[in-house]
Amino acid sequence: MPEINKSDNLECYFCSVAKYEAEGAEIIYENEHFLSVLDNYPAVPGHALVIPRQHLVNLIDVPKDIGIEAFDALQQAQSMIRDRSDDWLEDLKLFYENMVNSPRDEYQARLGRSALDKFAIFSDCTIDSFTVGINDGKLAGRTIDHLHFQVMPRFDGDGSKDSTFGVRRVFPDTASYKNVD
């Protein structure tokens, strides 16, 4: 996927989201210091991001006095994804349809189609698991130099081949720390 912005916040996509200037940004929750938005390149239906309003690059940059608001935004995003009201599901489906019909690029079109393909399963299943993570730096996989938390609902049929050991799978040779049959 192409890099979306440079490191200075004048060109930062997430800063434009925080200022309500980003086209296509779908905000699902906000508090004083953080926003929860639907991911424009979803790994699964319901994939959301939590971003600080202030341009912060790394987790260590988050002032301790506002860190609790990050957890509030994470929990609110999870609740919204888990509860999935009919209105929210309609809006979400429309969000993915728009992604397919007017994509920014080929990646967004492909990921939007994938989200729509899994949408019926997502909308009818029970969500009781999430993968929540941070790609804190370029070597960790971050593509936008603005701190953001990934919130991905997990469900049977989400496309994951094997979620055993979760994020440890980044290192496949050392992911397993016990024998799993």
Q: What confidence score (pLDDT) does residue 161 get?
A: 77
Q: What confidence score (pLDDT) does residue 168 get?
A: 73
Q: 102-108: list long-range contacts, CB under 8 Å, 24+ apart.
A: 104/24, 104/40, 105/2, 107/1, 107/41, 108/40, 108/41
Domain boundaries, the chain: 9-170
Which of 1-15 are b and which e, b meaning 16 or more Cβ less than 10 Å from the residue's Cβ? eeebbeeebeebbbb
Spatial separation of the C-alpha atoms in residues 173 and 180, rounded to whole Å: 14
Q: What confidence score (pLDDT) does residue 2 get?
A: 34
Q: What confidence score (pLDDT) does residue 42 get?
A: 95
Query: pLDDT averaged over the chain?
Result: 88
Q: Does 140 have pLDDT greater than 60? A: yes
Q: pLDDT grade, residue 8 (50/70/90)?
A: very low
- CATH fold group of domain 9-170: HIT family, subunit A (3.30.428)
Q: What confidence score (pLDDT) does residue 179 get?
A: 59
Q: What confidence score (pLDDT) does residue 7 get?
A: 44
Q: pLDDT grade, residue 164 (50/70/90)?
A: confident
Q: pLDDT grade, residue 173 (50/70/90)?
A: confident
Q: pLDDT grade, residue 181 (50/70/90)?
A: low
Mean pLDDT value of segment 82-107: 94
Q: pLDDT grade, residue 131 (50/70/90)?
A: very high
